[in-house]
Amino acid sequence: MAVFEEIVDENGVYKFFYDGVWRKSSSGKSVTIINPTTRKPHFRVQACTQEEVNKVVETAKLAQKSWAKTPLWKRAELLHKAAAILKEQKAPIAECLVKEIAKPAKDAVTEVVRSGDLVSYCAEEGVRILGEGKLLVSDSFPGNERTKYCLTSKIPLGVVLAIPPFNYPVNLAVSKIAPALIAGNSIVLKPPTQGAVAALHMVHCFHLAGFPKGLISCVTGKGSEIGDFLTMHPSINCISFTGGDTGISISKKAGMIPLQMELGGKDACIILEDADLDLAAANIVKGGFSYSGQRCTAVKVALVMESVADTLVEKVKAKVAKLTVGAPEDDCDITPVVTESSANFIEGLVMDAKQKAATFCQEYKREGNLIWPLLLDNVLPDMRIAWEEPFGPVLPVIRINSVEEGIHHCNASNFGLQGCVFTRDINKAILISDAMETGTVQINSAPSRGPDHFPFQGLKDSGIGSQGITNSINMMTKIKSTVINLPTPSYTVG
């Protein structure tokens, strides 16, 4: 497409972006992106060098200084422009998502539109919350007269490094980029390999909106070559990361800078005896199998009261049988998982459950990266699938005999992202919500991130900090105080 002509070189390798220009890496090397459906090379991106990362970060540092002095309304105006272009270009970007990460065609379009909406909302929220500060007076603290007026405002951090995961490479990139920019920071984006080309298209939309040179950069390459170099770079002032355990090692290595970490989950769904079982079954299937289970907030274990387990399992089975399985281009419900190694990992969990005698509600079936949806009943705590995140279309059911047993399983996990409970008794639901050690509990609905302005956070190994538009903007700022000192208390006149 003509709009995106300049982002690709004459050999069909996608360029990286900094200082307002699309460039080829001096490495002369590229990283290949395999289409999960065909398992054949589909795209190539630049393998950037450490010297290039240095240049990118230093340019971002310079650009941030003048961006911080750009009026807030102008920053918002540019974000609104970028959001509009992103939505206009939803078709080519969605097409990349289909080819790179096998996202079903309709969901791919939804991701881009949702991203545009997020950017606009962020611009609006930014002008409100960054335009306000606080006034404190000294005489509220013992021993003080009213001689000091403290004005607090929010100032940017500097250069924000954004690292999104493969499953939402556009949405989870803009959820970092937009708050960073509205708050006056510059951005260095390191997209995931699978999803990099969609992310590069998205960055071009920001470029077309007219942001100043150097403010937004995007480097691509092997995590092993530039990952640590980027996350430990002394000129990076904040890291916003979404992904798996990599985030734990980044947190240990990063310097004294604010971190926003959105990591893995093992979201539990507790189903009580009085639950609306049709509602629960519909949510378990949607929550467990949308995008083939490759969602941080997928239902990853169902904890069902024994007395309703047979009925619920039958209802879930009936719905699983209706899921379509095939290519993302055909908008199937279940599409190939992102890589062959992912598929192998999922298969390992399935084989372990088989060996330990879980009940297979469907036959296990796999062709290449495509794994048919699988419900495993009578899963026991000694099975890996009871604890590990498959990130695939496999859902374990653990039968429980008390609410306490369900809460205990949920809280014994290293993860604490979200959880959900199905019951008609709101009092019980609140008690369970309080007892579950997770960042969010959904009552009578599957876990999910969003709407994007809701706070979203994980406890334990599921993350550091809280995101959601308002929280992300606040997280990407620092408080600055200016104190006006008066020679006499201000209430002595008159």
Active site residues: 262
CB of 339 to ligand NAD, least distance (A): 9
458 binds ligand NAD (CB under 6 A): yes
3-state secondary structure at position 359:
strand
Q: What is the dihedral of CA 169, 174, 177, 179, to 10 degrees?
A: -140
- Kindly tell me which of 339 and 445 has the beta carbon lying closer to ligand NAD: 339
Q: Which stretch binds ligand NAD (CB under 6 A): 17-25, 30-38, 143-151, 239-247?
A: 239-247
Percent composition of the chain: helix, strand, coil (DSSP 3-state, to 5): 40, 20, 35
Q: Which pair of structure tokens corresponds to residue 115?
A: 């991203």
Binder of ligand NAD out of 92, 133, 212, 244 (CB under 6 A): 244
Q: Contact 402/279 with Cβ under 8 angstroms?
A: no
Judged by beta carbon, residue 45 or residue 429, the one nearer ligand NAD is 45
Nearer to ligand NAD, 165 or 184 (CB): 165
φ/ψ region of 331 (left if φ > 0, alpha if ψ in -120 to 50, else beta) reads left
Contact track, ligand NAD, 369-408, x by CB under 6 A: --------------------x-x-----------------
> Which one of the spans 57-65, 90-98, 109-117, 227-235 is the region binding ligand NAD (CB under 6 A)?
227-235
Return d(Cα 102, Cα 72) in angstroms, integer.
38
> Judged by CB under 6 A, which stretch of 16-24, 83-91, 260-268, 279-287 contacts ligand NAD?
260-268
Q: Give the x-and-dash track for 163-202 against ligand NAD (CB under 6 A).
A: xxxxx----------------------x-xx---------
CB of 293 vs ligand NAD, minimal distance in Å: 10
Determine the Cα–Cα distance for residues 153 and 481; give it in Å rounded to an integer: 7
String of DSSP letters for 419-443: EEEE-S-HHHHHHHHHHS-SSEEEE
Size of the site for ligand NAD (CB under 6 A): 27
Nearest distance in Å: CB 169, ligand NAD: 8
- Cβ 432 to ligand NAD, closest distance in Å? 22
With CB under 6 A as the contact rule, which of the stretches 118-126, 204-212, 243-251, 475-483 interacts with ligand NAD? 243-251
In 95-112, which positions are buried (b, 16+ CB within 10 angstroms) versus exposed (e)? bbbbbbbbbbbebbbebb
Q: Which is nearer to ligand NAD, 262 or 452 (CB)?
A: 262
Give me the least distance between CB of 175 and ligand NAD, in Å please. 9
Out of 104, 227, 288, 392, name the contact with ligand NAD by CB under 6 A: 227
Nearest to 188 by CA among 210, 159, 209, 167: 159
> Residue 50 to residues 47, 192, 231, 267, 290: CA-CA distances in angstroms?
10, 17, 12, 38, 38
Residue 164 vs 184, nearer CB to ligand NAD: 164
Name residues whose C-beta falls within 8 Å of residue 448's C-beta, 6 or more positions apart in sequence.
Answer: 287, 297, 418, 442
- Stretch of residues binding ligand NAD (CB under 6 A), selected from 2-10, 31-39, 238-246, 329-337: 238-246
- Closer residue to ligand NAD in complex, CB, 280/417: 417
Cβ–Cβ < 8 Å for 217, 188:
yes
Task: Enumerate residues 289-308 that contact ligand NAD by CB under 6 A.
Answer: 296
Radius of gyration of the chain (CA): 24
As measured in angstroms, the least distance from the Cβ of 9 to ligand NAD is: 22
Pick one of 30, 231, 466, 474: the residue that binds ligand NAD (CB under 6 A). Answer: 231
Q: Which region, judged by CB under 6 A, interacts with ligand NAD, from 80-88, 110-118, 224-232, 401-409?
A: 224-232
Contacting residue, 34, 178, 259, 263, with ligand NAD by CB under 6 A:
263
C-alpha to C-alpha distance for 106 and 350, rounded to whole angstroms: 29
Contact call for residue 246 and ligand NAD (CB under 6 A): yes
* CB contact set of 351 (below 8 Å; sequence gap of 6+): none
Map the footprint of ligand NAD across residues 410-429, applying CB under 6 A: 417
Pairing mode of beta strands 41-46, 134-137: unpaired
Q: In angstroms, how far is the first alpha carbon of the chain from the final one?
A: 72
Helix (H) or strand (E) holding 47: none
Smallest distance, ligand NAD to C-beta of residue 415, A: 8
- Nearest distance from C-beta of residue 166 to ligand NAD, angstroms: 4
- Exactly one of 30, 115, 242, 290 binds ligand NAD (CB under 6 A); that residue is 242
Short-list 394, 244, 393, 380, CA closest to 332: 393
CA separation for the pair 225, 48 (Å, rounded): 9
Cβ proximity to ligand NAD, 122 vs 272, nearer residue = 122
Residues binding ligand NAD (CB under 6 A): 163-167, 190, 192-193, 223, 227-228, 231, 242-244, 246, 250, 262-265, 296, 389, 391, 417, 458, 463
